């Protein structure tokens, strides 16, 4: 019962009692009518509960931290006429409080559209919904609360910043703009013929192979000239200070995301590695969709990356023949063994750059100097400082 329904129950009961006491049958009749109204409404709602449906549409399933996502919710009635509706959208705490909407009574088959904005502040994967719908009879005497199942996922990627273009040198020079040829570990064998995909140049169709396989096949370049970069993020709990979203891991992840965007835009094929080794690589089919898809995949990995409990820096991927080219590391605190391992990593690449986070223990400057002696170009990223200034310093 709503407050209105309970008030009518109380008023009807009082009228019946007063009518009996003073011997007024009219009071008794009025009291019975008033008493029956909310009870009848309750019975009708129980027998014919509201049939409300809800469909949610996120304007962007992936946004960057600090951006705003628009949510559109369609609410419809496929049952009998309802009373006023109260729709409560359930949201995670980091996306703000729940959203409440009051709708006018809905006729059978009628629908309405609700819109609201979500302001994101922290990276992560969040569930939007389900919705709790309060419906009742047209007189508003009875309230029925029902959870409409169904959630949508909003992925919030790390906050990034634009970086200046700096001179990135290496031992292997490619064409014109210092491109590095993929000759690492003997080179990755390129498939010279592959299946046709929408958007391929028709002039590259290889007709003899297409006729033999009865499938359109296209030629690929036999040897691609490209820039290659391995981006290492040290996300061990041992290396960082603080907990949760106040940890120094957050600026480290944001710096890594900024470097992914910047280096990919400059033509690098960026391979993301973490202190645990491989964070999970896209499938070959996904990689073939282009650089943009690879960047999105890596930003999704960084969005949900948590601090690793291991204290050991895993560089096993170096032994897999995936070293070489440009190496960029985002690190914080390093143990003695870590520093020796990074010395070997610098020797495995064509050029090595390190962004060292200042964790407040006063060791960042000394760590930069030691890394410089081991063949790295290193610069400190101060707490609350801009990565652009640190990146510019690495290019001097």
Concatenated DSSP letters of 95-119: G-S-EEEEE----TT-EEEEEEEEE
Q: Kindly report, residue by residue over 75-112, the tens digit of the pLDDT.
A: 999 988 888 899 999 999 999 888 999 999 899 999 99
Burial class for 79, CB neighbours closer than 10 Å (0-12, 13-18, 19+): middle
Residue 288: band (very low, low, confident or very high) from pLDDT cuts 50, 70, 90: very low
Question: Distance between CA 45 and CA 39 in Å, rounded?
Answer: 10
Predicted model pTM: 0.77
Decide if pLDDT at 377 tops 70: yes
Helix axes 25-47, 3-22, angle to 10 degrees: 150
Residue 315: band (very low, low, confident or very high) from pLDDT cuts 50, 70, 90: confident
Kindly report the CA angle at 362 between 395 and 350, in degrees rounded to 5? 30
Q: Are the C-beta atoms of 341 and 366 separated by less than 8 Å?
A: no
DSSP state for residue 176 in the 8-state scheme: T
Phi, psi of 354 (to 5 degrees): -130, 130
Question: Distance between CA 278 and CA 289 in Å, rounded?
Answer: 21
Residue 10: band (very low, low, confident or very high) from pLDDT cuts 50, 70, 90: very high
The rounded percent of the chain whose pLDDT value lies above 70 is: 87
Decide if pLDDT at 49 tops 60: yes
């Amino acid at each position: 019962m709503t407050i209105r329904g309970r008030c009518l129950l109380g008023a009807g009961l009082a009228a019946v009692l007063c009518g009996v006491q003073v011997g007024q049958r009219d009071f008794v009749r009025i009291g019975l009518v008033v008493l029956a109204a909310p009870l009848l409404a309750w019975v009708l709602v129980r027998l014919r509960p509201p049939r409300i449906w809800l469909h949610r549409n996120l304007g962007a399933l992936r946004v960057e931290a600090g951006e705003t996502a628009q949510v559109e919710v369609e609410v419809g009635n496929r049952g009998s006429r309802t009373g006023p509706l109260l729709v409560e959208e359930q949201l995670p705490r980091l996306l703000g409080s729940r959203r409440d909407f009051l709708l006018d009574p809905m006729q059978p088959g009628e629908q309405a559209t609700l819109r609201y904005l979500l302001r994101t502040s922290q990276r992560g994967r969040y569930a939007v919904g389900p919705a709790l719908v309060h419906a009742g009879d047209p007189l508003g005497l009875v309230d029925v609360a029902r959870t409409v199942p169904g959630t949508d996922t909003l992925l919030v990627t790390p906050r990034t910043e634009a970086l200046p273009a700096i001179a990135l040198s290496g031992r292997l020079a490619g064409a014109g703009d210092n491109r590095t040829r993929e000759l690492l570990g003997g080179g990755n064998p390129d498939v010279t013929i592959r299946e046709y995909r929408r958007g391929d140049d028709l002039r590259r169709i290889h007709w003899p192979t297409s006729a033999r396989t009865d499938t359109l096949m296209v030629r690929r370049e036999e040897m691609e000239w490209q820039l290659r970069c391995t981006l290492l993020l040290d996300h061990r709990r041992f290396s960082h200070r603080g907990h949760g979203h106040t940890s120094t891991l957050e600026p480290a992840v944001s710096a890594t995301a900024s470097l992914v965007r910047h280096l990919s835009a400059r033509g690098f094929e960026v391979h993301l590695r973490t202190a645990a080794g491989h964070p999970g690589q896209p499938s070959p089919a996904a990689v073939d969709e282009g650089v943009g898809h690879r960047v999105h995949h890596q930003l999704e990995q960084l969005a949900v990356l948590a601090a690793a409990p291991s204290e050991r820096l895993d560089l096993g991927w170096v032994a897999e023949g995936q070293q070489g080219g440009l190496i960029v590391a985002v690190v914080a605190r390093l143990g003695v063994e870590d520093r020796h391992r990074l010395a070997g990593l610098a020797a495995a690449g064509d050029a090595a750059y390190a962004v060292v986070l200042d964790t407040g223990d006063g060791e960042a400057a000394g760590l930069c100097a030691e890394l410089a002696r081991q063949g790295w170009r290193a610069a400190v990223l101060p707490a609350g400082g801009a990565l652009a200034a640190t990146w510019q310093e690495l290019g001097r």
